[in-house]
Structure 1
Amino acid sequence: MMPVAVLAGTAATLAPAEAPDGSRCPYHVVRDPESVREVLHRPADFSPANALVAVTPLEGPALRVLQRAGFALPPVLASNDTGTHSGIRKVVAGFFTPATVAALEPRIRELAREAAANTADRLKRSGHADLVQTVAAFPPAVIMFELLGLPVRDLAELKRWGLDSMELFWGWPDGDRQLELARSAAEFYGWLRRLVAASVAAPGRNLFKSLAEHGLTRTEMCSLGYFLLIAGQETTTQLISTTLFRLLEGSAPVDWAEAASEAGSRSSVRHVLATESSVPTWRRVAAHSTDLGGDRIPAGTELLLELSGNLITAGAGPGSRSPQAQAGSRSSTGLVFGSGIHRCLGAKLAELEAAVIVQEAAAALPGIQLRDHEPDWIRFLSFQAPRTATVTNGPS
């Protein structure tokens, strides 16, 4: 059976904060960077147990679909507030060492150049291309599979499952949409169960074999893999997508031509990380009554932490950005990947992938122009990016 607490959501006991549009936010919102850092460094007081709880409580039909699929998400890594966390994290961290990440740069560049070349061909044939799909989507997924020692397969399905699961857990789907998304999640979970079983029996080193040797059950490995296989590539795709869009829109600190250099691409990626990263917020819950910044936080209060300069609020329009993001008020990316014992293990990899892929795209596609300046955006509680970045060849 699936632990209902993972899916049902909880209500904040503190009076909700008011969003700029007048709507009510059911979280105690923490914007001050030092307060955010303090929360993240006090896991005994502010538990990660709600990190993966569905934002919108799931209704009966969707829950039944998941139950029939044997869907279960016990706390293993991101939402684990027990003593088992450090040992599991150490196993996973072994696949993301600085030396391992640095050694991936030639492979990332190879995939980036291939994607950029394919995009150039598409522009010649049809006159337009969507950089989200042709440049940003697939290299991070390939790298993730290879890094973890897993077979590279079913990439298109993984991308669909990832976005569907983000919406199911961090979006605001109504009952009918929940049912669609739950079917997708159940399909993903079944695929993941088969991948875990095959990986444990496969020769050589891979993530799931290492986790099995550490003592995790198949259900625990599926729980860890469910979100790792999403976060390990989809958030990087979204970071790349936003960077490409802002460069072509003209609001980045460098222009498209400058982004073809290593310094230019890194500057543009870091700007997006600081102002509107793909993971702008994250959640914590007060494990007991405690104090934060002079305020009393009752037990059970859910906190929404702003990690970058664009807090998602109800009613935000497509492509809209907070005043902080528009002004570029945050110059540091120090919190964007979290902090403390739950800091993102793939932080260095994500930044490297984004910088290399943006650089290679800008170098291979000079003179392209943005066709749609107001695309639809992914706007979930903790994830954001333009869904498309459609370009055309500029005037010759």
Structure 2
Amino acid sequence: MPRPNEAAPTGQAADGARCPYLVVSDPDAVREVLHRPADFSPANALIAVTPLAGPALRVLQRVNFALPPVLASNDTDTHAGIRKVVAGFFTPATVAAMEPRIRELAREAARNATDELDSSGSVDLVQMVAAFPPAVVMLELLGLPVRDLAALKRWGLDSMELFWGWPDTDRQLELVHSAADFYVWLRKLVAESRKATGRNLFKSLAEHGLSTPEICSLGYFLLIAGQETTTQLISTTLFRLLEGSATVGWNDATSEEGSKSMVRHVLATESSVPTWRRVAAHDTTLGGARIRAGSEILLELSGNQVTSPSGHERQSCAPQTVRRGLPVSPGVVFGSGIHRCLGARLAELEAAVIVQETAAALPGIQLHGPEPEWIRFLSFQAPRTVAVIQLQGQASAAPPPRREH
């Protein structure tokens, strides 16, 4: 990897003994890396952060688990054609047409949260309002059947930890069994979708010429990224609103503009995807600094804190505190260039609508219990829970109080 003095002009210098990445923090430099795919390849984007041990690999081999590069990690000339097929399901008109359905799902989830709060006295907003609407929307948008949602959510989080976390050997074995189950389920769905009437993503990819392993590879990460990262964005937004650390308050979020403003704030300061990886394809330069071929690069997209699952600092690869309030280019948050997130518009819409409907349905609530455990993987972050209780005798127009302990 580059020596620290070579990294200094472009980002945070990394101590090779503690961090395997050259961290690039400046938004302009991040954008430059993303716009130079021939120099900075996406080939490492989906490689497991913690190499899989032999027993874990054998579990995956038993189900013929294979993830050939197709979209996010594809650095070949096939990328453009495949991306065009997928982009056809995320056009601005298609996303805009989904808003009534998103609002319907958001209101239903908010009503369920209200009922749970009334009956039990507390509710976890992550599970009740943030978790399932994005999964339903993603499957419907792609023309795929809406089913096995609880399993899909579990598989998504397990795969995030497997590929972007720091699991030890025992934990890897647990996670790879989950990944294998997901892959088997996905392969059956691909076979079913190839024969289905009507338009769906997997059928369109098959017609484009992709093999079943290639479709499964694309679907594996799309069905995770296309909904789990949105759940995490919603979760962080709800938590920060109720915590009272942002300029936008809980009651402000009941308006369309207020909810959109808060979602943009979270995207800029601690998005659910705070970092992403690239690798130098050959010897090159960035901002006047020499970058050696094979250098692993970590692009900082927004504020983040990289820790191990135990909560201890695992890397010196990123800021150790969330950078709330510092401006970050919206274009960088969702990537930029030929690999920019195709679901950016959808994610912002879903988050804003779900936050707005939740705030409107639950006007008198406050955070409850200890500080929640956070998802802290290399490229993903969010609170795992947002537990709330009803605030007795509090007018809905009052600002949300601080956490009750």
Match of 1:309 among 297, 303, 325: 303
- Determine if contact 1:112/1:135 at 8 Å carries over to the other structure: yes
Give distance in 2, aligned partners of 1:202 and 1:62: 34
Matched, 1:252 2:249: no
1:316-331 to 2 correspondences below 5 Å: 316=313, 322=319, 325-331=322-328
Q: CA deviation at 1:133?
A: 0.2
Aligned match of 2:351? 354
Matched, 1:383 2:377: no
Q: CA deviation at 1:46?
A: 0.2
Q: CA deviation at 1:310?
A: 2.2
What is the SS of the residue equivalent to 2:332? coil
Q: CA deviation at 1:14?
A: 5.1
Give distance in 2, aligned partners of 1:229 and 1:323: 30
TM-score, normalised to structure 2, is: 0.91
- Aligned AA for 1:378? I
Q: Percent identity?
A: 76
Shift in CA distance, 14/88, structure 1 to aligned 2, threshold 3 Å: farther
- Determine if contact 1:14/1:298 at 8 Å carries over to the other structure: no
Aligned match of 1:25? 19
Q: CA deviation at 1:59?
A: 0.3
Matched, 1:230 2:224: yes
Match of 2:360 among 358, 363, 367: 363
Aligned match of 2:76? 82
Give distance in 2, aligned partners of 1:98 and 1:327: 30
Matched, 1:344 2:341: yes
- Determine if contact 1:239/1:278 at 8 Å carries over to the other structure: yes
Aligned match of 2:189? 195
- Determine if contact 1:235/1:279 at 8 Å carries over to the other structure: yes
- Aligned AA for 1:265? S
Matched, 1:294 2:288: yes
Instruction: Provide structure 1 residue ranges, at least 5 long, that are not aligned to the other structure.
Output: 1-11
Give distance in 1, aligned partners of 2:156 and 2:17: 28
Q: CA deviation at 1:24?
A: 1.5
Give distance in 2, aligned partners of 1:313 and 1:303: 18
1:203-218 to 2 correspondences below 5 Å: 203-218=197-212
Cα RMSD of the aligned pairs, angstroms, is 1.8
Shift in CA distance, 288/331, structure 1 to aligned 2, threshold 3 Å: closer
- Determine if contact 1:275/1:324 at 8 Å carries over to the other structure: no
TM-score, normalised to structure 1, is: 0.93
- Determine if contact 2:14/2:22 at 8 Å carries over to the other structure: no
- Aligned AA for 2:109? A
Instruction: Provide structure 2 residue ranges, at least 5 long, that are not aligned to the other structure.
Output: 394-405
Q: CA deviation at 1:196?
A: 0.2
Give distance in 2, aligned partners of 1:294 and 1:332: 22
Aligned match of 2:132? 138
- Determine if contact 1:166/1:380 at 8 Å carries over to the other structure: yes
Q: CA deviation at 1:313?
A: 5.3
Matched, 1:122 2:116: yes
Q: CA deviation at 1:299?
A: 0.2
Aligned match of 2:40? 46
Aligned match of 2:389? 392
